[in-house]
Homo-oligomer: A and B are copies of this chain.
Amino acid sequence: MEKPNTRPNEFELVSRYLEPLVLDQEAAACLKDDCAVFGVTAGHEVVISVDTLIADLHFFKNDPPKQIAQKILRVNLSDIASSGAEPKFYFLAMSLPSTIGIDWIEQFCLGLGVDQANFGISLLGGDTTSTPGPLSLTATVIGEVPQGKAIRRGGASEDEDVYLTGVIGDAALALSLIKTNGLDSVSEDFPVLLDRYRLPQPRTVLAPDLRQIASACIDISDGLAADLGHICTTSGIAADIKISWLPISETARVLLREDVRNWQTIISGGDDFELLFTAQPQFSNAIKMLSKEKNIQINRIGKTKKGSGVNFFDPKGKHFPVKKSGWQHF
């Protein structure tokens, strides 16, 4: 039977596309109740992250719907990981403009399903409404952490090491190139950068170990400079970072050879969703082993010290001024 690409009504949307995503039928009551009800593992606390993504502000309207679905989950999963918690469930509030049809919804729900499997989470509920505005998604992701073991921004002390997972700057470089050259050009010439913007890799597998190791942790969403600033302000310390120690991709290296000012984008740009954490020097071997075991690079990028503020230094030990202080949400 031919399937016209019209909007399903709310009943169809829920029964045909969303219900299959519910793995814990009892908690979610098959999405038939207004509330979800669930228990918490003994000796654990609940960890919750809420984030909104809006079309053409936080993703491109014509991005593949599968990746939009994954991104709304992943920006929250990254927050959950930064707390050292393990994700369990999510709620999704979707405001859909009238241009969204069945094909889009099918692909979007496919993306949700793929990441449910990738990260071991299940849909528990949410809300669906139409909007005259842009496509807007708010996810509430629920995790668990052993009581008192959540990692906070404010736990860092002086004389600790500062670490970063993965590489940074690719997502911000993609956005910067799109601004100058347009989306199509970047999509053709720098697909890897664009993927890094569209599909962050939340470091959820590191969370259980990090809560033994890290004194403070944050995920880089506003940019390295701003997010390290958040740790320093909340913890009441300062940090010195060597830019030659910053882990960057091969593509970022090429772009830096073309224009050294790209360092600014790498240091200040957001959307990396890598974990930035502090740890006492005694954990340096444990961190090396963790990196090897999970096959995720974890690099030391600097040290904390008494004082306030974040300073960056070039290879000659000269102070490297950072121009803008990260993403302002509005």
Contacts and interface: CB of A to CB of B under 8 A. Distances in A.
A287 interface: no
Contact of A45 (B34, B39, B128, B329): B39
A54 interface: yes
A125 B93 CA distance: 16
A43 to B, nearest CB: 10
A125 B48 contact: yes
Contacts of A218: 34
A125 B33 contact: no
Contacts of A120: none
A277 interface: no
Interface residues of A, number: 64
B230 A57 contact: no
A142 B219 CA distance: 25
Contacts of A58: 129
B130 A52 contact: no
Given A45-B38, A52-B138, A96-B330, A133 B130 contact: no
How many subunits of this chain does the assembly comprise? 2
B93 A329 contact: no
A128 B48 CA distance: 16
A44 to B, nearest CB: 8
B29 A47 contact: no
B37 A150 contact: yes
Contacts of A150: 35, 37
A54 B97 CA distance: 12
A54 B147 contact: no
Interface of A: 7, 9-10, 29, 32-40, 45-52, 54, 56-58, 79-80, 82-83, 85, 91, 93, 95-96, 124-134, 136, 138, 140, 142-143, 145, 147, 150, 152-154, 218-219, 221, 230, 234, 328-330
Q: Which 3 A-B pairs have the closest CB atoms?
A: A133-B133, A130-B330, A34-B79
